[in-house]
Chain A
Amino acid sequence: AQSVTQLDSHVSVSEGTPVLLRCNYSSSYSPSLFWYVQHPNKGLQLLLKYTSAATLVKGINGFEAEFKKSETSFHLTKPSAHMSDAAEYFCVVSVLAGNKLTFGGGTRVLVKP
């Protein structure tokens, strides 16, 4: 069985400051991990994914995430928040061939001017 915990349901940052979204997972097997973003009334867009290659993964829009097996974490960061980053972010784990995805509860990001 697998599970994902996003440690913060809401994060508020000022424009131009760093963003940190925390994600911890549990999995019996080597997982694939993803971060998705959902803007209001929009579908889910992939930001980045980890699939057992480099542990530091770079994604779109300046986001990156680091896979830390010892801490079972996959935290998402961005050095400088932009107003357009205001959205909900989901950490997702998948194991085995095409198995169903397990979503975290989501983190809603508010960016203040």
Chain B
Amino acid sequence: EAGVAQSPRYKIIEKRQSVAFWCNPISGHATLYWYQQILGQGPKLLIQFQNNGVVDDSQLPKDRFSAERLKGVDSTLKIQPAKLEDSAVYLCASSHGGQGRTEAFFGQGTRLTVV
């Protein structure tokens, strides 16, 4: 079974530039998460999708971050414009999301450096 795919693996941009990350979840997984992990900290949930609908985006800085999951499969996370404090690893995860709780599977992440 293929895992969660993310791209790119690394990205370096200047502040005020824009950047987009892509995630392809495990086939059939209804729930998709985007997390931000700053060095030395645990992952912070940015947004959670159930199919193509947003379940929770309470921690997403909506003035600069946006995310979409068209057709309930792939997802993109965008930052526009980027700030120095956005430097972090952005992790995508997916879970089955059906009845009963199941674990989330994580991608390798995208390491963003804003200079």
Do they bind each other?
no
Q: Which residues of B contact A (CB under 8 A)?
A: none
Q: Which residues of A contact B (CB under 8 A)?
A: none
